[in-house]
Amino acid sequence: MRARKLGLALATAILAGTGIGATGAVSAHAATAPTITRDECTAAGGQVTTIPYGGTVCTLPDGTRQTIT
């Protein structure tokens, strides 16, 4: 229990030191996960693939993957 409190205090101090709060960290993560539709994927020359237990993704010609919405 004491280690958990110490870890939480350390994480809070790190986030406070970087100038972003907990909500800023969550928002930044959400902004880094772009989504694309099936039509947009195929129009861009990508391939739609269904991954078991992972959802559907678009693999673009440059090798990047985006989640299908």
CB of 67 closer than 8 Å to CB of 33: yes
Question: Which pLDDT does position 34 carry in this prediction?
Answer: 81
Question: Which pLDDT does position 4 carry in this prediction?
Answer: 47
d(CA 44, CA 36): 10
Residue 27 burial by Cβ neighbours in a 10 Å radius (0-12, 13-18, 19+): exposed
Question: Which pLDDT does position 19 carry in this prediction?
Answer: 54
Stretches in the chain below the pLDDT threshold 50: 1-4, 6, 25
| Residue that has been written with the tokens 């269904």 in this structure | 50
Question: Which pLDDT does position 69 carry in this prediction?
Answer: 87
What phi and psi values does residue 43 have, to the nearest 5 degrees? -65, -30
